[in-house]
Structure 1
Amino acid sequence: MTPLPSYRPKQLSLGPLEAEILNLIWELGTVTVKDVHDRILSNPERELAYTSVTTVLQRLTQKGWLVCDRKSRVYTWQPLVSKEQAQALRAYEQLNQFLAVGNPDVVAAFADSLDQTSVDQLEAIAQRLRAIREAREDKECI
């Protein structure tokens, strides 16, 4: 289970090209503009200006997803959260938005419409939460 990271990007929402480039960075690790640009252009059906890649990397840095480092004349970027941490943050955000509906009848109607596999997943999540909370309480008693 991936816990929520202590660090959170300033803005979670990403455009399609931002998401694509962030996925490439998670795959490659530390990258330069050229690394990302070359990878995108490895698909012969794609066109993307080098400057567009630079702009997207700068936006991802401003949004808090990446950190930029300059060594001599080369800029490199690396992610501040892992892909798994990002998925946990997005799931947390979506769950909070869903629960913000605030009407228990709406939430119950949604839950009632779930198929058995989804209900089983919810029950497994509830069991996992109970185990985590019990372990936390045991630690506090020590």
Structure 2
Amino acid sequence: MDLKPTESELEILQVIWKRGQCSVRDVHEELVKNKEAGYTTTLKLMQIMHEKGLVERDTNAKTHLYKALISRERAQQGALDKIISTVFKGSTSDLVIQALGQHRASKDEIDAIKSFLDQFEGRD
């Protein structure tokens, strides 16, 4: 199954990935630090995420605890694939040029990119 979290689901997953396991209240308290969000909306989203298989819910305790079933890397890959195919019409070079042109990369990041490209070229 190809799991593609929505933007709101990714915000919730960020909290869960950071903490490992948490309640709806834990997630909600973290979300309201950066945006307006209703507790019942957070609860409903997490229930939907459970139905979709993005999170698992431990119901053994009074407070249900949620844990991510999708890795950060898998979610990032899915989001990136979607962006490349829809926004950049399949062009990874356009994505990279846009990203580097709009966001200042540090010397260490540029060195890491160069190293990756050197390794990538060596795969032939």
**Common fold: TM-score over 0.5:** yes
Query: How many residues align structurally?
Result: 107
3-state DSSP class of the match of 2:22? coil
TM-superposition CA deviations, 1:13-39 (whole Å, max 9, x none): 41x221211111111110101101111
Would you say 1:86 and 2:75 are equivalent positions? yes
**Structure 2 vs 1, CA of residues 10 and 76 (structure 1 numbering), >3 Å: closer, same or farther?**
farther
- Alpha-carbon RMSD: 3.6
**Structure 2 vs 1, CA of residues 76 and 68 (structure 1 numbering), >3 Å: closer, same or farther?**
same
TM-score (normalizing by structure 2) = 0.61
CA distance in 2, matches of 1:21, 1:123: 36
Choose between structure 1 and 2 for higher RCO, CA contacts under 8 A separated by at least 6 residues. 1
1:28-107 matches, within 5 Å, as 28-43=19-34, 46-91=35-80, 93-94=81-82
3-state DSSP class of the match of 1:47? coil
Unaligned 5+ segments in structure 2 are 98-109
Corresponding residue for 2:17?
26
Instruction: Point out 4+ residue stretches in structure 1 off by more than 4 angstroms.
Output: 117-123
Asked if 2 retains the 8 angstrom alpha-carbon contact of 1:65 and 1:81, the reply is yes
3-state DSSP class of the match of 1:17? helix
CA distance in 2, matches of 1:89, 1:22: 14
TM-score (normalizing by structure 1) = 0.55
**By how many angstroms is 1:55 displaced?**
0.8
Unaligned 5+ segments in structure 1 are 1-8, 131-142
3-state DSSP class of the match of 2:21? coil
Instruction: Compare CA radii of gyration and give the structure with the larger one.
Output: 1
CA distance in 2, matches of 1:23, 1:78: 11
- Identical amino acids, percent of aligned pairs: 24
